[in-house]
Amino acid sequence: MIYLDSNATSQVAPEVLDAMLPFLREHFANPSSAYRIAKPVRAALDTARQQCAALLGATPGEMIFTSCGTESNNAAIASALATHPERNHIVTTTAEHSAILEPCTLLSQHHGIEVTRIGVNREGLIDLDELREAIRPGQTALVSILWANNETGVINPIPEAAAIARQRGALFHTDAVQAAGKIPINLTSLSVDLLSISGHKFHAPKGVGLLYASRRVRFQPLLTGGGQEAGRRAGTENVAHLVGMGEAASLMLKQSDAGRGSVRALRDRFEEKILTGVSGAEINGHLIHRLPTTSNLHLPGIDSAGMLILLDEAEIYCSASSACHTGALSPSHVLTAMGCDFHRAASSVRFSFSRFNSEAEIDRAAEAVIACCQKLRSLRPLEGGPVITS
């Protein structure tokens, strides 16, 4: 099989699995226990915390382990509102992941919080002037802006956006679930207060995430109970998986620019083949400010659901849109936010790559995509709006 859906979830790296296994076998003690056998477990958590901090250019004390990116996002919003109870306004964007959009919708519908969603341009980028104007000094509790978009890979100007939020007196959170490990992040020099990541997007297993909470800001936990994570997130830590996330962070950090460049070269090779082999094909999103791992392609005259079925038969796996939404019968909200019409959104497919892909796979997948386009175009011209699984 050829797996080209690493933005949905990534393959666990062999080194990660090896690092985890001792914590599922012999070192199973609760890290909070006082006896001797808990010591190596606590030490392993400390190491994982250091490894994650190094990936983000932050300090271990600023790492709060969570169960996933979704929890980190929810915890960031909850903390910003709890630490600023006099404020009732959030600024975010129309192209966020549902793990930001949905909590914001809920807050505005049931908890009296006003939410301003700034737009993105045709290339998927936010406008910094629009952001500046949207922030209400003294009223905006939080600005939350996606670092890299999961569907298009478009990278927002986070350092600049965070500086604007700081200047206007609002806390700044970024959902960096797709950015972490794929582009360099150094929080020491940024005005980012809160940041979310998720292990399974960078070759750790599913079920672990992290919220960076800058030591500059006050923090109120979403989950209360035992005093784990220095009282910032209750619940016994998922030690083996967190050890895996630490190892995965370390591997991503060690990966040189050359390593990152080789995934980009695979992505570019794939795009070149599709853009020459499929008439009218185009890239969705900014051509430069884009993750090196992501390719969102408009393939006119095909419907993405049909493409996914044909590719599935050929054991090639990719996405019509965010995998978290599969089953919903609506075009991608991200492409719609970028001004794509229904037809363009319904004939766009996302391919996402990792270091586990090879040139041979890229060539075979590109050939298959070109053949599927020809087949779908010969079967039925796109009319009346086919349905996309977004």
Ligand X SMILES: Cc1ncc(COP(=O)(O)O)c(C=O)c1O
Interface with ligand X by CB under 6 A: which residues? 68-70, 97, 99, 146, 150, 175, 177-178, 198, 209, 324
Q: What is the distance of C-alpha 372 from the center of its chain?
A: 29
Give the shortest CB-5-to-ligand X separation in angstroms. 11
Q: For residue 101, which of 73, 126, 140 has the smallest C-alpha distance?
A: 73
Least CB distance from residue 134 to ligand X, whole Å?
A: 21
Task: Give the 3-state DSSP-derived string for the chain, with helices as H, strands as E and coil as C.
Answer: CEECECCCCCCCCHHHHHHHHHHCCCCCCCCCCCCHHHHHHHHHHHHHHHHHHHHHCCCHHHEEEECCHHHHHHHHHHHHHHHCCCCCEEEEECCCCHHHHHHHHHHHHHCCCEEEEECCCCCCCCCHHHHHHHCCCCCEEEEECCCECCCCCEECCHHHHHHHHHHCCCEEEEECCCCECCECCCHHHCCCCEEEEEHHHCCCCCCCEEEEECCCCCCCCCCCCCCHHHHCCCCCCCHHHHHHHHHHHHHHHHCCHHHHHHHHHHHHHHHHHHHHHCCCCEECCCCCCECCCEEEEECCCCCHHHHHHHHHHCCEECECCCHHHCCCCCCCHHHHHCCCCHHHHHCEEEEECCCCCCHHHHHHHHHHHHHHHHHHHHHCCCCCCCCCCC
Give the residue nearest to ligand X (CB).
69
* Cα–Cα dist 48/248, whole Å: 9
Q: Which tokens in the block code for residue 252?
A: 């991503």
Pick the catalytic residue from 52, 324, 372, 373.
Answer: 324
Nearer to ligand X, 68 or 78 (CB): 68
Q: How far apart are CA 210 and CA 212, in angstroms?
A: 6
Pick the closest to residue 345 from 301, 295, 298 (CA basis): 298
Comparison of 175 and 361: residue with beta carbon closer to ligand X: 175
Q: Which two tokens mark 331? A: 């075009």
Which residues share a beta bridge with 290? Answer: 154
Q: Which is nearer to ligand X, 102 or 130 (CB)?
A: 102
The CB-of-241 to ligand X minimum distance in angstroms stands at 12
Least distance from ligand X to the Cβ atom of residue 205, Å: 11
Q: For this structure, is 324 an active site residue? A: yes
**Active-site amino acid positions:** 324
